[in-house]
Amino acid sequence: MDLTSPLFLFAFLPLFMLVYLISSPQIRLYVVVAASIVFLTLGQSSALLWLGGILIAGYALGRAIARARNAGHTGKAWLILGIGLNIVLLSFFKILTAYGSDALRWLQVSHTWIKPIAGLAVPLGLSFVTFQAISYLVDVWRGRTRTNKLVFFEDESADRRGQLAQVKIDKTGPWSMSGTINN
């Protein structure tokens, strides 16, 4: 479905907006996700596989980073792998779009193998999802909380950068929290 098609403008969009506006705030995120899946399925169903794969791989790599950090490692290798995979996939589709099958000639493989790959369409929203996945991986690596808030505290006794610490939260804000270290 194209964003300028009558089906989108006069059926899908008004129906989505109506459902979104009458939904309770607790389920609006699910309404948006469901509408996105329906939109992608009607417009470009192959995009669901690519975007779903990016999301699942990003989540798995984020968990690997968190496990590495909890084990006392930096998790930097998982971060580099995740960023690299996302950039390679995005570059592949952008180069393929710009130059077509000629961009794949340097691979020195059979033309019968290149032709189906060159026919792939760039998934709608690929750049957005790719950069969101990279942002998520960096946030996990930097040690953001589950609610995506930074926790600030002072500790005179040691340098605790990159370590887990028990902190009593004294003040919360929209993007960060501050507290005192529990000894």
Residue-wise pLDDT tens digits, 156-171: 777 776 677 788 888 8
CB 69 within 8 A of CB 162: yes
Q: Whole-angstrom Cα distance, residue 150 to residue 146?
A: 10
pLDDT-above-90 percentage for the chain? 26
Categorize the per-residue pLDDT at 4 as very low, low, confident or very high, splitting at 50, 70 and 90: confident
Pick the closest to residue 128 from 59, 62, 39, 51 (CA basis).
51
Predicted local distance difference test score (pLDDT) of residue 120: 67
Average pLDDT, the chain: 82
Order of all β-strands in the sheet with 150-154: 150-154, 176-181, 167-172
pTM of structure:
0.65
CB atoms within 10 A of CB 149: 15
Predicted local distance difference test score (pLDDT) of residue 76: 93
Predicted local distance difference test score (pLDDT) of residue 15: 94
The pLDDT tens digits of the residues spanning 118-169 come to 666 677 788 988 999 999 899 888 876 565 667 788 877 777 766 777 888 8
Categorize the per-residue pLDDT at 117 as very low, low, confident or very high, splitting at 50, 70 and 90: low
Instruction: Find the DSSP H helices in the chain.
Output: 6-7, 13-22, 28-44, 46-70, 76-99, 111-118, 126-142
Q: Whole-angstrom Cα distance, residue 53 to residue 82?
A: 12
Model confidence at 89: pLDDT above 60: yes
DSSP secondary structure, 18-46, as one string? HHHHHS-TTTHHHHHHHHHHHHHHHHHTH
